[in-house]
Structure 1
Amino acid sequence: MFRTMMIAAALLATAETAFAGGHGGGHEASAPPPAAKQEGPPAKAIIGKHGPILVDLKGMTLYTFERDTSGTASTCDAKCAETRPPLTAPDNAVATGDFTVITRGDGKKMWAYRYRPLYTSQLDSSPGDVNGNDPTQLWRIARPY
């Protein structure tokens, strides 16, 4: 009887190790450290009464400036940036999808869509406003295409 119990105990210990994935009985492997959280896109596309447009995460309309032609720089600085605030990016921002990061003349980062710097407008007071659209001054609503 004692022999049967010893064999059963040995088999049980072997089975426990096998079911534990070979890590040893009862010892859990430590969890891997969590991956760094990747921020999502800084803007989204919506369809409103003016068709498909890009808006920031607060729903405010985004604009592009026709003088921004290099794809790597913003030409809207100083006074211009006061009325057309750039869509700022954190210092550690990385490109995601069609969104890239541009370093402004003052060293701050901003978001661009398909290499076109993105701006908001002081003329817009609530989500969905498009008062900053002024093609005669070379400001256009940012479109997701």
Structure 2
Amino acid sequence: MIPRRIGPSLALGLASALLLGACGSSNGTDTGNAAPAAPVTSATADPVTSAPAVGGSSASGRTATTAVVTTRTAQGLGSIVTDDKGLTLYRYDKDEANPSKWTCSGACTKTWLPVIVPESVQTSGVDKSLLGTVHRNGRTQLTLAGWPLYRYVGDTAAGQTNGQGKDGEWHAVTPTGQKSTVTG
């Protein structure tokens, strides 16, 4: 019976140590960790449980502990942000950046999957100081320049931007958090 308690206790202790280490200093200097936004929630119920975390899952089925956010050039859109699998990340015009607030909920999250992240985020081509998080029904959604990030279910392969301009409100996000526009 006691050996069964060791695993969860170790996991809880490790998670606590990682969270404390991610807090950084209290003197306001940047320690290189993602700058989390103030926790913001929406009153609307949101079934986010099916949305995968950036970084995917390990062979054991557990969520990876590090997410990867990178940039790539998309034909006609310029530089955009993607996850570690090359899937385009989007922002929603109805969300708010300051303070970070998500509005896509319910049926919306079946088409636009919130980017749920684990403990840490690695970046390539994205200024880590622009990354943050917003709390979403007990989970942590990644933000860029305050904008909550999503994946589009219609993007099934790396490099696709099928969600660009959907309903005039969904846009691939640039490395600075701006919405991408067609560059011609």
Same fold (TM over 0.5): yes
1:93 and 1:40 map into 2 onto residues whose CA distance is 5
Query: Of 51, 57, 67, which residue of structure 1 is paired with 2:84?
Result: 57
Q: Return the offset for 1:41.
A: 6.3
Mind listing any 5+ residue stretches in structure 1 that lack a counterpart? 1-34
Query: Of 89, 97, 117, which residue of structure 1 is paired with 2:129?
Result: 97
Mind listing any 5+ residue stretches in structure 2 that lack a counterpart? 1-17, 23-32, 34-64, 122-127, 177-184
Q: Which structure's CA Rg is the greater one?
A: 1
| Residue 141 (str. 1) matches residue 168 (str. 2) | no
Q: 4+ runs of 1 displaced by more than 6 Å?
A: 35-41
Q: Which amino acid aligns with 1:44?
A: T
Q: Percent identity?
A: 25
Q: Which amino acid aligns with 1:46?
A: R
Q: Return the offset for 1:135.
A: 5.0
Q: How many residues align?
A: 109
2:135 and 2:120 map into 1 onto residues whose CA distance is 11
Aligned ranges 1:5-20 → 2 under 5 Å: none
Deviation readout 1:30-71 (Å, 9 max, x if unpaired): xxxxx9797776411112313100001111001000011143
Query: Of 74, 77, 83, which residue of structure 1 is paired with 2:102?
Result: 74
Q: Which residue of 1 aligns with 2:73?
A: 47
8 Å contact 1:73–1:103 — kept in the other structure? Answer: no
1:60 and 1:71 map into 2 onto residues whose CA distance is 26
2:130 and 2:174 map into 1 onto residues whose CA distance is 12
8 Å contact 2:67–2:120 — kept in the other structure? Answer: no
2:109 aligned counterpart, secondary structure: helix
Q: Which amino acid aligns with 2:165?
A: D
| Residue 123 (str. 1) matches residue 154 (str. 2) | yes
1:136 aligned counterpart, secondary structure: helix
8 Å contact 1:52–1:144 — kept in the other structure? Answer: yes
8 Å contact 2:67–2:117 — kept in the other structure? Answer: no
1:116 and 1:144 map into 2 onto residues whose CA distance is 12
Q: Return the offset for 1:137.
A: 3.7
2:113 aligned counterpart, secondary structure: coil
Deviation readout 1:59-102 (Å, 9 max, x if unpaired): 10010000111432211111111110011012x458x4211011
Q: Which amino acid aligns with 1:63?
A: Y
| Residue 132 (str. 1) matches residue 163 (str. 2) | yes
1:132 aligned counterpart, secondary structure: coil
